[in-house]
Structure 1
């Protein structure tokens, strides 16, 4: 089950850890309207698949981590 608020917290922490201290700068690099991005990071809007994939690339995190908090399994 997708937990929107937990995703939002991991996204924000990953953004900041990567050096994006302003959410607007991150949204611009993602190619997303800053207001839409803020709603995703506030947990009031579900992220689209593109946002999850591009955010993972920009923050050097896996989509698994952003979505579930777990690293991908290595089977």
Structure 2
């Protein structure tokens, strides 16, 4: 793996972590979001090395994902 590929992977890992945190902050259930994300076309493009998706900022990534199938977290008090 060359240096450019390593930078893409590092950026992707950081962006995905931030996207997961943002989704939870927005009230989405983490397990539901993670399942949807891992099965998404976006994730498939990332796995195939699409620079467009691999360098996308987390907020735009979340906006582009179809969040209709993601459950909102229930608040238990």
**Same fold by TM-score, threshold 0.5 exceeded?**
no
Please give the range of the TM-score, normalised by the shorter of the 2 chains. Answer: 0.3 to 0.5
**Relative contact order (alpha carbons < 8 A, sep ≥ 6): 1 or 2 greater?**
2
TM-score, normalised to structure 2, is: 0.38
The structure that has the greater radius of gyration is 2
TM-score, normalised to structure 1, is: 0.38
